[in-house]
C-alpha cells in the first residue's frame, strides 16, 4: 500500500527535451513552434505553459497538439478541462491542458509529446536605427528541469544580424527557474518599418519631463527657503521643567491654552473655563445625588468685576441677575431658544488667544501663480490632444483629483496657523 506521503514524494515532472523553432518575419513578428517531450510520474493531471509577455507585446496562440506514433491529435479548448486532450487558459498567459483523467491510475515515468504554436508581436526593441531581439525561448516558470534544449532561429532576408547566429542553439540541463535568452542586435533593410517597441524617447517628451523636474526642484528649494524664513527649522527649547511651564504655559488661563492648542472652541473649553473659575474661587460647584444628578453653580464674586468671556458666560448661566443656577434651570430657561455656551464665548475667547499670540508676518499666498500653472497644464494637454496624442486628455482626471485633494487639505489645515506661520499650539513652543 502506498501512503499519501509516499505518493506525493513519487510525483515528478521533467522534460527530456524542449525543441524550439522560431522565425523572425519582416514585419517584426516572431513565429514559434515548441516541441515539449515531457515525462510524468505521479498523479499529474496534465501540463502547463506560462508565457512571459512584456508590456505592449501581444500573444497570438495558434494551437496545441499531442504528438503520437500514429500522428498528431489537436487539443480542444474547453474551460472545464474534464476530458483528456482539452486545454484552457488560466488567466491571460497561463496555458493548461489535460493529459490524465482524475479516475485514471497515476503516471509512471510516462513520456508525452506536445507541440505548441504561437506568434509574438512587438517582441523587438528599437534602438535608434537598429533593432534588438531580446527574448527568453525557454520559459523559466516551470516545476521540472529540461534535460536537453535546442533552438533553431531563422531570420527573414530583410534582417541582417550584427552578431553570429548559429544554425542551432543548445543548452542543458536547465533546472527550474533557468531560462535561455537570445540577445541579438539586428539591422533592418525592408520597405516598411517592422513592429517594435521604441526604447528612445521623443524630444518633446524628454523636454517636457525636464521642465517638470526643473519646476519641481525649484518648488522644493523655494519651499525650504520660505519655511526657513518663518523660523520652522530653528531649534526648539528642549529643557522643559516646572519653571519653563510656569513662564510659557501656566501663566495663561487654561481655556486660552486649550483654544490655542487645537484652535477650536467647544464643550471642552467651556468645562475648562468653569473649572478654572471654580479654582479661582469665582464660582462654587456642587453635584446633587440621585437618578439624574444636577450640577449647581454659585457666583461668589460681583459679576461687574468679570470681563471678556468670563462675563459673557456668567451672564448666560446666571440669567435674570441670579447668583445661583443649575443645569436644570439653564435647560428650562433656554428650552425655547436653545443654548450653546461655546458659541457664546467663542468671540471673546478667540480675541484672548489673539492677544497671547500676536499676529506676525502673514505667509505669502501665490494663488495667481497656482492658477497660471493650472491653466498652462490644461493648455499643454489640449495641445497634445490636437497634435495626435488623445491619451493626454486622460491626465485631466487625475490632475483635477489631485487639485481637489490639495484644495480640501489646504482649506482644513490653513486655520491652524497663526500670522507668522507658527502652529496655534505654539503657546508652549513659541520662540521667545
Q: Give me the average pLDDT of each 10-residue run along the chain (432 residues).
A: 46 95 94 96 94 88 95 94 94 92 93 96 88 92 94 95 92 92 92 79 66 81 82 73 83 89 89 93 87 87 93 94 92 92 92 79 65 76 64 65 73 44 35 32
Q: Is residue 228 part of a domain?
A: no
Query: Could you give the dihedral angle defined by the CA atoms of residues 287, 290, 292 and 298, in that order, rounded to the nearest 10 degrees?
Result: -20
| Span 348-404, pLDDT tens digits | 999 998 888 766 565 566 667 777 777 877 777 777 666 655 555 666 677 677 777
Q: What is the pLDDT of residue 7?
A: 45
What is the reported pLDDT for 374?
74
Task: Give the separation between CA 201 and CA 123, rounded to whole angstroms.
Answer: 18
Q: What is the pLDDT of residue 409?
A: 67
Q: How many structural domains does the chain have?
A: 3
Residues 84 and 187 in one domain: yes
**Looking at the structure, do residues 86 and 118 belong to the same domain, yes or no?**
yes
Non-local CB neighbours of 142 within 8 Å, separated by 6+ positions:
48, 50, 176
Q: What is the pTM of this model?
A: 0.52
What residues contact 389, with CB distance under 8 A and at least 6 apart? none
Question: Do 319 and 376 have their domain in common?
Answer: no
Q: Which candidate, 88, 90, 93, places its Cα nearest to that of 53?
A: 93
Whether 206 is covered by a domain: the verdict is no
405 with 290, same domain: the answer is no
Indicate if 116 and 55 belong to the same structural domain.
Answer: yes
Q: Are residues 159 and 52 in the same domain?
A: yes
Q: Are residues 306 and 412 in the same domain?
A: no
pLDDT value of residue 279: 93
Q: What's residue 9's pLDDT?
A: 47
Clarify whether residues 352 and 372 are in a common domain: no
| Same domain (yes/no): 292, 379 | no
In sequence order, what are the beta bridge partners of 77?
A: 87
* Rounded Cα–Cα distance for residues 396 and 411 (Å): 22
Name which of 379, 363, 347 is nearest 415 in CA terms: 363
Tell me: do 19 and 162 sit in the same domain: yes
**Would you say residue 219 lies in a domain?**
no
**Domain assignment of residue 96, given as a range:** 4-198
Same domain (yes/no): 181, 62 = yes
Residue 238, in any domain of the structure: no
Amino acid at each position: 500500500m502506498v501512503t499519501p506521503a509516499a505518493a506525493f514524494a513519487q510525483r515528478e515532472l521533467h522534460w527530456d527535451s524542449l525543441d524550439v523553432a522560431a522565425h523572425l518575419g519582416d514585419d517584426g513578428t516572431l513565429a514559434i513552434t515548441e516541441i515539449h517531450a515531457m515525462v510524468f510520474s505521479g498523479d499529474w493531471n496534465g501540463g502547463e505553459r506560462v508565457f512571459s509577455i512584456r508590456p505592449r507585446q501581444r500573444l497570438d496562440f495558434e494551437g496545441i497538439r499531442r504528438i503520437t506514433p500514429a500522428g498528431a491529435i489537436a487539443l480542444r479548448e474547453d474551460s472545464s478541462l474534464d476530458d483528456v486532450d482539452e486545454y484552457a487558459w488560466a488567466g491571460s498567459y497561463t496555458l493548461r491542458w489535460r493529459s490524465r483523467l482524475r479516475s485514471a491510475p497515476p503516471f509512471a515515468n510516462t513520456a508525452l509529446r506536445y507541440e505548441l504554436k504561437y506568434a509574438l508581436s512587438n517582441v523587438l526593441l528599437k534602438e535608434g536605427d537598429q533593432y534588438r531581439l531580446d527574448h527568453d525561448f525557454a520559459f523559466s516558470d516551470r516545476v521540472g528541469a529540461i534535460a536537453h534544449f535546442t533552438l533553431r532561429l531563422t531570420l527573414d532576408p530583410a534582417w541582417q544580424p550584427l552578431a553570429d547566429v548559429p544554425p542551432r542553439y543548445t543548452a542543458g540541463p536547465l533546472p527550474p527557474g533557468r531560462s535561455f535568452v537570445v540577445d541579438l542586435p539586428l539591422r533592418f533593410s525592408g520597405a516598411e518599418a517592422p513592429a517594435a517597441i521604441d526604447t528612445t524617447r521623443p524630444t518633446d517628451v524628454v523636454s517636457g519631463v525636464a521642465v517638470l523636474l526643473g519646476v519641481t526642484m525649484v518648488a522644493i528649494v523655494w519651499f525650504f527657503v520660505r519655511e526657513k524664513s518663518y523660523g520652522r527649522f530653528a531649534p526648539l527649547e528642549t529643557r522643559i521643567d516646572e519653571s519653563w511651564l510656569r513662564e510659557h504655559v501656566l501663566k495663561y488661563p487654561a481655556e486660552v491654552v486649550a483654544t490655542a492648542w487645537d484652535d477650536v472652541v467647544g464643550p471642552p473649553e467651556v468645562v475648562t473655563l468653569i473649572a478654572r473659575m471654580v479654582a479661582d474661587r469665582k464660582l462654587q460647584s456642587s453635584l446633587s445625588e440621585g437618578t439624574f444628578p444636577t450640577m449647581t453653580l454659585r457666583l461668589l464674586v460681583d459679576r461687574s468685576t468679570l470681563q471678556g468671556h468670563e462675563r459673557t458666560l456668567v451672564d448666560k448661566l446666571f440669567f435674570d441677575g441670579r447668583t445661583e443656577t443649575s443645569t436644570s434651570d439653564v435647560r428650562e430657561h433656554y428650552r425655547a431658544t436653545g443654548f450653546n455656551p461655546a458659541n457664546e464665548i467663542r468671540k471673546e475667547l478667540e480675541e484672548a488667544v489673539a492677544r497671547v499670540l500676536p499676529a506676525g508676518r502673514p505667509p505669502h499666498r501665490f494663488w495667481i501663480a497656482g492658477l497660471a500653472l493650472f491653466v498652462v497644464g490644461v493648455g499643454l494637454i489640449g495641445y497634445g490632444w490636437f497634435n495626435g496624442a488623445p491619451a493626454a486628455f486622460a491626465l485631466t482626471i487625475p490632475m483635477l483629483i489631485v487639485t481637489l485633494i490639495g484644495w480640501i487639505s489646504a482649506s482644513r489645515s490653513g486655520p491652524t496657523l497663526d500670522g507668522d506661520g507658527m502652529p496655534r499650539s505654539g503657546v508652549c513652543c513659541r520662540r521667545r
